[in-house]
Amino acid sequence: MADDRLQVAFVWHMHQPYYREPNNGTCNMPWVRLHATKDYYFLPNQLAQYPKVKANFNLVPSLLKQIHLYNQGDSDAMLELSRVPASDLTSAQRRQILHFFFFANTEHMIQPYPGYSDLLARRGSSVKDEDLESRLALFSDQDFLDLQVWYNWVWIDPLERARRPELQNIPKKGRGFTEAEKLAVLNVHADMLKRVIPQYRALQEAGQIELTTTPFYHPILPLLCDTEVAREAMFNIQLPERFVHPEDAREQIRKSVRYHQDLFGAPPAGMWPSEGSVSPQVAQLIAEAGIQWIATDEEILGKSLAEELAQMQPGQAFKPDFLYRPYRLDLAGGHGLNLIFRDHELSDQIGFVYGKWDPKDAVANLMHRLRTLRESLRGKPGGPHLVSIILDGENAWEYYPQNGLDFFHRLYEALSQAEDVVTVRVGDFLREHPPQAKLPRLFSGSWINHNFKIWIGHPEDNTSWNYLSRTRQELEEWEREHRAEEHREARDLAWEALYMAEGSDWNWWYGDDHSSNLDMEFDQLYRDQLAAVYRAQGNPIPDFLLMPIRRVQLHGQTILPTGLIQPELDGKVTDYFEWLPAGYIDLSGGGGAMHQAESIFQAVYFGFDLKTFYLRIDFSTSWLETHQHETHELNVRILQPQPRLIRVRALLPQPVVDFYEPDTQERWTLVRQHGLKGALDSILELAIPFADLQAQPGEKMEFWAFVKKGDRELERCPQQGPVMVEVPGEAFAAMQWSA
């Protein structure tokens, strides 16, 4: 008798970008650790309590590698801040804690706990440095200790909290925690990180879950193979210089399969290509790597079957007849690949809708939808039918009460008891029911709007691709000259850093599609990964990698000049009125504070007369005193109207100012040594003739400054992007005065 139960495959995709800096392994973002303690262990652990329910987990190697590094003793910046005894925290560390230790869902992770929510109310909503500084006095050492405890406690899943007495007491006590209680919470983090990977392996060996993979550093494979593929979905898209490196796509796939096998004892049969991104060329590479099936979105299926769907009669339903069945794609060389397609609506109900519902109603609605589907599929061709529910496995649950605990309990209970709906591992289903339908072609696109707009086409996205292309080209040139065995380690390090930079997450935050509180940190990390390619070669970091790609408008943070100035260049505030008409940069807005505990810039002023651009830098007194015997330099980059670099070498005790222009290969060439006026005493003052900048009245001039030590950038001003000012003409003074 045929099994007429509706077969449902849940695929939970677990992913984090590779946050660790390639050159030194430091990690400024805590999300691997925090999602491990809140989600990566919680989901399989919850599932294990319902052995009748089967599921599929897609584990990205870049995530697994970072979990492994934590278990080897690696840390992150927020963990290090958490470990510092509260009484020993510096003012800068206290500001960082006030800024970052409320990064949690307010409704479900902060407000339910009065001890935590009271601390947030006291801090307020602003995270500008000046506002945080003004609130420091409102927080005692005990308050900071409480905040260290709360921040790490709320990122532990509810099952783990319930089973550990040392965690149960935290919400009961509410405040007044001890260093010992904090240590207990942090020890739970370490213990849970160690249990994540073994839990998945145990459930796979028990036959309850199937583990699948993604290309190693989560790249958009079709774009690695050929960026021109983006035109299939968006014909008029503006693209960067063409990037065609299918060999990189092949290597990302090969590395993921090998890593997965080493970790879990068997190669993966299935793969979720990063962001569900597919193309015919990618399908070929995946099949050649031994992968048997992949998943992507229903819109890709619709585009792939466009001709067939055009022949349908009015009123015919797309989903029952086409979506809920697997397909076979025949490929060159006798290869083939099985494909399943994500039910967009059902997946999004769990990811974005049900968190706002009562869990009982949410589960009832989902089961009703599944049973309605089952009835609609009766007698339809292509059976037995498979409904694929595929979504992010880590980010949705903070929008559910108790991290989705009650929702999962009710869902798994309902699925365990259902006689008309059964959950399956995708590989099992495909072995028992090989695809009967052939996919005539595979449309090139992703799970988001069946195109690649998120990752390419915007000027910021295209710039990042051009940087990747240039870095890769120069790596290949270097490699041709360094093939000896003695250079093997350097070559391996350089290529690994490049593969990290090929990850999709960096371009997720470029452009106008998405934004976060950490856009500039993601931008910095991407450029750090490209810089590591050069560092592995022993070559200097190109200047283009020192400049952020992300362009943030500086609303309310830059005050423009109100008149002409002619300061005396003596490194001192000679007269109160000397710089009064100058523009200045308000440094109170913060940004990028996760990267440093000590500020270098205190204030930056800029102005001009009709012939000269003047710049004044007020360094932090404590920084100057602390680093007076070290070698630092200040770089001033002019972006418009012509690229120029002013390099202030040997800041202390007496600055040496050099002037650079780019050559035909965009490398800086020294034009004039000791050729510009500058002085440093209590402040640094510089004079740069507009003639040297080839700047004409009325033209836009963009600039910013950054302090370096060796080839490492320590701090940039402004953090968010360059300052733009208009070169003054004869009428400037009168216009500004009359305004």
Q: What is the pLDDT of residue 127?
A: 86
**Cα(671)–Cα(497) distance, integer angstroms:** 33
For CA atoms 408, 411, 415, 418, the dihedral sign is: positive
The whole model's pTM is what?
0.83
For the chain, residues with pLDDT lower than 50 are: 1, 314-317, 553-556, 588-597, 736-739
**Cα(660)–Cα(637) distance, integer angstroms:** 10
Q: What is the pLDDT of residue 483?
A: 86
Closest by CA to 327, choosing from 348, 365, 346, 300, is 300
Q: What is the pLDDT of residue 213?
A: 99
Q: Which letter, b or e, does each residue of 298-317 get, where b requires 16 or more Cβ atoms within 10 Å of its Cβ?
A: bbbbbbbbeeeeeeeeeeee
Task: Give residue-wise pLDDT tens across range 75-103.
Answer: 999 999 999 999 999 999 999 999 999 99
565 and 733 Cβ atoms separated by less than 8 Å: no
Where exactly are the structural domains of the chain?
558-738
Give the rounded distance of the alpha carbon of 602 from its chain centre.
29
Q: What is the second-level CATH architecture of the domain 558-738?
A: Sandwich (2.60)
Q: Which two tokens stand for residue 476?
A: 């290949």
Q: What is the pLDDT of residue 737?
A: 43
Q: Please name the residue that has the structure tokens 């349908």.
A: 312
Contacts of 508 (CB under 8 A, 6+ apart): 454, 455, 514
Q: Which two tokens stand for residue 76?
A: 């992150």
Task: Give residue-wise pLDDT tens across range 373-392.
Answer: 999 998 887 789 999 999 99
**Cα(362)–Cα(366) distance, integer angstroms:** 6
Q: Which letter, b or e, does each residue of 549-559 get, where b requires 16 or more Cβ atoms within 10 Å of its Cβ?
A: bbebebeebbe
User: Coil, helix or strand for 167?
Assistant: helix
Q: Which two tokens stand for residue 673?
A: 């040594």
**Cα(58)–Cα(394) distance, integer angstroms:** 11
Q: Which two tokens stand for residue 615?
A: 């710049």
Q: What is the pLDDT of residue 560?
A: 85
The two beta strands, 327-330 and 437-438, are parallel
Q: What is the pLDDT of residue 319?
A: 58
